[in-house]
Structure 1
Amino acid sequence: MEFHNEESQFKKALLVYRESHKSALYSKKYSGFAAPASVSDWEKIPVLTRSEIHERSFPSSMDMMTCPLEDAIVISTGGSSGVARYTAYTHSEWDAFVTAQARALEILGITRKDRVANLFIAGHFWPSFLGLHDSIKKIGAVHLPISANIPPEEIVKLCQQFEPTVMISLPTLFVFLADMANRDGFKFKNLRMINYAGEHLSAVAEQHVSKALGVTRIKAGAYTSSDAGIMGYQCDHTPSGVYHVPTHFQWIELIDFDRGCRVKQGEKGDVVVTNLNRTSNPIIRYRVGDVAKWQEGTCPCGDRNPLLKLAGRAGADFKLGGGFISMDVFENAIARHAPALSLNFQLEISDIGGQFEVDLKIEAPRLPEPLMITTLRNELFQAVPELRISEEKNYLRQFTITPLEIGKLPRSPITGKVSHLKDNRVL
């Protein structure tokens, strides 16, 4: 994609900044701030928060709009947590979004000769199904609008009947299909590529999906936020979690909010994004909620756009016994027992009378042997000393591992995602 240096991005961002003053939110938010004259001035502009988008967007409010709500599409920008937020794009802004998304898919090798199975959930204002439809249309490929609204057995049947060469959906669904394939022994005849979006697909989950479904090419369709649009795209050389930034479309900063400054090369920071194309509902210095770092060097593909490596969700880990525990520890432990155990799991933590209980719910194609559950428990207590110490000190009232039939974990009705952490404690 077209490369823009930071000076060029600043000039485009300044136009969006000036236009934003037509909205009630930004005119008040930026009251008393002089228009930034340099990149360093830009860093002094206060960030946009999720709560502001939730509370000040249509239909709750028109405060973020710089123009009347006309010639537009309204989409949901949240929902996995059960709290939906909404935002509006003009049709021209939406077209620019899906054009960039289509180009990202073309870079990965999707052509008009492909049959693309659209396996996103449709409805509830969720934009993924609609956006992929428009992107496939721009490429000229054959669109198979199957969706994930139907039972998974029907998804398998339709994919076997219509033989897609590419499937696109959430990692949660692909892990589920891999579990089903291990249980039922099916493959998809002409499937050559899987694209995912909406969640991170870990290396262990990718191996599980690749082996079960017999697909060697698995790539992220894009790094995207419904609020901001496409923020990253992959090429043949980018590994899992690494993306080129579309500098013509987004300006991304990585900020250390503890120090109040940008991070240096190789350091982790919170992703802060400004959409350079959107003026009807401006997204300026939005704190997305992801943590990332800049990759050094130039990509072998020759694309000059910088490389961004995602390092997780801000606040995705949880606190236990004074320390912060990474959810990766649990996924890696479970992965050692795949395919007997699925990588669709949920860790639920509850506070019971001053003690806490932990229930690790894991989907499984078949009921696992008790010895496997005992082994996994021992491995987790070895990998997470806080669990063992909490049990010894009687802080941990109970730790259980509950196997569930595949598909039985609660999914978001809007996005279809499984939340890996459900922390019921009041901290």
Structure 2
Amino acid sequence: MSQPTGWTVFQSGGTTGAPKTSLFSHEEMEALYLPNARGYHAVGLRRGDRVANLFAVGNLYMSYLHVHRALEAFGCANFPFSNHADPVLVRNCCRLFGINCLTGVASVALNCLREMEKLGLRGVRIEKFFYSAEHLYDADKAELRERFGVRKIATHGYGTVDTWYLGYQCAACPTGVFHAHDDQVFLEVWDEEGRRPCAAGEAGMLYATVWSRRLTPLVRYRVGDRARWLEDRCPCGRTTPLFELLGRGDDVLRIGFDSVDYRYVQDCAGRVKGLLGSVQMVKERQTGRDRLVVRAETRVPPKGRPALAAALSRELLSRRPTLKKGVEGGAVWPVRVELLDQGGIPRNPRTGKLVRVVDDR
């Protein structure tokens, strides 16, 4: 704030219910287009593509404005719809202008495509789907390929509002694996209990020191995600370090004597055919005992849902002996599975992101 340059204020922490702000100088904002363009190029965006920008806009949200400017600089045909766009308008423009790429918050862009399908997709061909801000799980990727014919699915950038991009994917990166933007940021994976940096392959908490942040410097900023370094080189030929995200450090609910993480619940849902990728886990406390509630979305008619719910419940207990023992011994209430229609799980009203973890004690 002491520098004479102008600055822009953005809001962060949109999914926690406790909003914070982050300040960027105009020079810092300009410097961010390089990692953004690098990520888009690595996942397969090209100048001839016609891109629907479905990122969240308004209320001090950052991504839409930045992606809009980056797409202009990249040289694409840019369609600035935002997350509030009417699917009718998006569908009609896809037909009229031959839009072939969607980019946005993962669940928002996917839900827009699902709503467009209800209107009819004749004349619409979406070949590329580039997302960030949320994970896109295997069930969602299978839906994009098999249901909508999308050929390229990847995240062009991983980061936070405060740090901006920390990593990017390429065509060879599997889900959750990223190239580090090592010329933009210094990343560390720390064993917080042992107070030491993690060796390759060890899981720890991700920290970032951002070279470009001068107005509000960030030194060893705790990102909030668990990660690990990978030793293998990427088949794409890039020599930047690879890291794998292992889920949010705070995406864990203590149920009885077991700590259940969101990634485990998501993986269980992915093994039950008929469930979509959107899942929420909830902790309830009733008469002195914990209960794990898992909500999942499905297109299966109500008649077939009890069998799906039972299958997911079995899957959840199959590899959690502590949780299973607690349920069988009466220390923990039985797991309750709630199956909802597509779009039934609450989203953050500002960003459209899925509310993944709720503690209702």
Aligned to 1:143: 78
CA distance in 1, matches of 2:200, 2:315: 35
CA distance in 1, matches of 2:139, 2:298: 16
Gaps of 5+ in 1: 1-64
Tell me how far 1:256 sits from its aligned partner. 1.2
The partner residue of 2:255 within 320, 323, 331 is: 320
CA distance in 1, matches of 2:199, 2:323: 35
Identity %: 27
Deviations 1:266-296 (A, max 9, x none): 2122111111112111111101111112111
Aligned to 2:296: 362
Tell me how far 1:119 sits from its aligned partner. 0.9
1:251 and 2:199 matched: no
Aligned to 2:35: 100
1:217 and 2:156 matched: no
Q: Which runs of 4+ in 1 moved over 6 A?
A: 181-185
Do the aligned partners of residues 225 and 424 (structure 1) sit closer, same or farther apart at CA in structure 2, a change above 3 Å counting?
same
CA distance in 1, matches of 2:88, 2:344: 14
1:343 and 2:297 matched: no
Q: Which amino acid aligns with 1:260?
A: R
CA distance in 2, matches of 1:168, 1:188: 19
Structure index of larger Rg: 1
**Structure 1 or 2: larger strand share?**
2
- The question of whether the paired residues in 2 share the 8 Å contact of 1:265 and 1:295 is answered with yes
Matched residue count: 359
Deviations 1:87-120 (A, max 9, x none): 1111110010123211221232322211111111
Instruction: Tell me the secondary structure at the aligned position of residue 196 of structure 1.
Output: strand
Structure with greater contact order relative to length (CA < 8 Å, sep ≥ 6): 1
- The question of whether the paired residues in 1 share the 8 Å contact of 2:10 and 2:61 is answered with yes
Aligned to 2:350: 414
Aligned to 1:134: 69
Tell me how far 1:179 sits from its aligned partner. 5.5
Instruction: Tell me the secondary structure at the aligned position of residue 409 of structure 1.
Output: coil
- Structure 1 length normalisation: TM-score? 0.77
- The question of whether the paired residues in 2 share the 8 Å contact of 1:182 and 1:365 is answered with no
Q: Which amino acid aligns with 2:166?
A: M
- The question of whether the paired residues in 1 share the 8 Å contact of 2:103 and 2:109 is answered with no
- The question of whether the paired residues in 1 share the 8 Å contact of 2:201 and 2:228 is answered with yes
CA distance in 2, matches of 1:185, 1:258: 54
Deviations 1:114-136 (A, max 9, x none): 11111112111111111110110
Cα RMSD, aligned residues only? 2.5
Tell me how far 1:219 sits from its aligned partner. 0.8
Gaps of 5+ in 2: none
- Structure 2 length normalisation: TM-score? 0.90
Task: State how 1:382-397 maps to structure 2 within 5 Å.
Answer: 382-397=318-333
The partner residue of 2:238 within 295, 300, 303 is: 303
Deviations 1:196-216 (A, max 9, x none): 101122334322332222112
Aligned to 1:401: 337
| Higher mean C-alpha deviation, range 208-217 or range 242-251 | 208-217
- The question of whether the paired residues in 2 share the 8 Å contact of 1:146 and 1:158 is answered with no
Task: State how 1:6-155 maps to structure 2 within 5 Å.
Answer: 65-67=1-3, 70-152=5-87, 155=90
Q: Which amino acid aligns with 1:249?
A: Q
